[in-house]
Structure 1
């Protein structure tokens, strides 16, 4: 395990599995590399920008005093182009399964917008920040337009997004984060050479049993307690959820890759494109230059296999 302390900026749209990913970065564990979270940036995705920003503020407050010191920056309320799409059918109207929340000292929303916050942090600490993007890539695309040197200023970018084999979860062949803002996704993939992509197919290929899943939230930290309430509420409000034969954790897998790159046991480097065309079958589709025929953008690292036992350690709160 690498001992260097990673500085993270997390761009997110909480989101049930986003909550788990945030807890991984914000909760110390002897089996998980420590990280310093510089900022949380929110983006409209699973639900609208007001709800995801409120969720981030509440989650940080619920996760304890250290987490509550992390600033929250409100980001984009919709995609670069086209209509906003959400996932309230999965995450509930409020994004956290409409669980009854207990009072916490919520983090105050910072006045600086997310894209500007990302640019300022990267300029302040060039080469020192890992960006973890768990939602649509709108904020990162906007930050890139504000600061074209952003790819050189960040140490690394880890993105949860894409369906490189066409196994979509938003449409037949588009993954949600890329389908929610394909123009932003394509722009980011065209400019960041040190980008690692944790796809929807990689998520599907690394399923967890019910026993594994429940073991993630058995700790005694405030974050573990909060996540147990979220999961118990999901079991209560969606009886079929507790009867699944497998459980998937997209955003936590991306966070695992960000915290411990050695968890990746197989990956490929190719150029990746995202289609745009509202109403068409190409909208949000991830296209990979598997034969390396193109040269108009840098290749990115596509995660294909992860160390499953190591994942269990990384995902336990």
Structure 2
């Protein structure tokens, strides 16, 4: 075997690990639309203790996203789970900065909250985008508003993360399903935050996807971009180079996990508050990124292919690769990078079974 082939073999080899027990979890997410709740149901079905839900800017603004979260918890009598608002903006990124980058390097297929305000789309149920982070769009809340007694906590999400991690050192798993701004803020606010986390699972982590972005539609380009990293590259770099005991990125492994009409018909044949929302509002055209990241956090035996590599995010604003993953082999890497696990594939049959089981329950 040549030295080159040996290096490739070492990079690709994966040894399966048994299913683990996950006790305490914080869900950090940019809650999108009226049917983003499946990750929480997967955790509850696995008897995980959800310490709280932290909300971060991403697909929309935090105030609108938080209303979705609070109403979801009401519908399932789950209001004992506390909710914490997080960052209003990325660490450096702004709509102006993003638009300027596009002039130099080309259009970003999806910009989340930084998309231009679209009154037509909002009237059809799209959460608000554009320049005002406090604007609420009622037409994008078809599940209804939460009651006045169900509100977010006063503590900032980053402070809540720090508090819980130090209350339960080395016991808290962080499930990061949106941009990584809240997590990066916690790292910068507290020097021992990351080292006291049990593990962090991140819904992101594509690499070598440039060809896939040019061989189809704009939607195809979007599906093969890495929005959670692109929206706040500086935060992503802070997280990927922090001293967490374990960092796992699940983006690529979730690409094949997509709802279809027959599967939706199957799981909604049992009527619960959540299957009703899925039938009406769950998007059919996107992979189940957040759900897959959650499932592998709980059930590591779902992983069928993974790699470990030294990695960071390109944070050079002048680069056409700004906000994307870069990998190194050990002999060529800069001194500050660390090993990160990338999930490449999962057992989709078992994954779909787990989702069906979770959403058909009454909690």
TM range (shorter): 0.7 to 0.9
What is the alpha-carbon root mean square deviation over aligned residues? 2.8
Contact kept? 2:67, 2:145, Cα under 8 Å: no
Check whether the contact 2:254–2:292 (CA below 8 A) recurs between aligned residues: yes
| Corresponding residue number in structure 2 for 1:194 | 246
Partner of 1:37: 50
Describe the SS at the equivalent of 1:82.
Answer: coil
Contact 2:70 2:146 in 1 (8 A): no
For residues 82 and 54 of structure 1, what CA distance do their matches in structure 2 show? 24
Report the CA distance shift for 1:170/1:81 in structure 2 as closer, same or farther (over 3 A).
farther
- Extract unaligned runs of 5+ from structure 1: 235-240
Match of 1:304 in 2: 344
The superposition leaves residues 167-217 of structure 1 with CA deviations (integer Å, 9 ceiling, x where unpaired) of: 567769741000000000011000134011011x33223445432344344
**Structure 1 pair 8/107, CA: closer, same or farther in 2 (3 Å)?**
farther
1:114, 1:211 → 2: CA distance?
38
For the residue of structure 2 that corresponds to 1:131, the secondary structure is: strand
How far is the alpha carbon of 1:154 from its aligned partner?
Answer: 1.1
Q: Secondary structure at the match of 2:49?
A: strand
Residue number in structure 2 paired with 1:116: 159
TM-score normalised per structure 1: 0.83
Q: Is the 8 A contact 2:29 2:177 kept in 1?
A: yes
d(CA) in 1 for partners of 2:270, 2:263? 13
Distance of aligned partners of 1:129 and 1:220 in 2 relative to their CA distance in 1, 3 Å threshold = farther
| Secondary structure in structure 2 of the residue aligned to 1:311 | helix
Higher mean C-alpha deviation, range 281-290 or range 174-183: 281-290
Provide the rounded CA distance (Å) in 1 between the counterparts of 2:20 and 2:239: 29
Distance in 2 between residues matched to 1:290 and 1:207, nearest whole Å: 32
1:174 and 1:283 in contact (8 A); partners too = no
Which of 76, 85, 110 does residue 87 from structure 2 map onto? 76
SS at match of 2:40: helix
Provide the residue aligned with 1:179 in structure 2: 230
For 1:60, which of 61, 65, 73 is the aligned residue? 73
Distance 1:212 1:293 in 2: 46
Paired residue total: 297
1:238-317 superposed matches below 5 A? 248-278=287-317, 280-289=319-328, 293-294=332-333, 295-316=335-356, 317=359
Specify the alignment match of 1:237 in structure 2: none
Question: Is the Cα contact below 8 Å between 2:24 and 2:172 reproduced in 1?
Answer: yes
Distance 1:171 1:248 in 2: 11
Distance in 1, matches of 2:58 and 2:82, equals 20
Instruction: State the shift of 1:166 in Å.
Output: 2.6
Matched residue, 1:18: 36
Partner of 2:263: 212
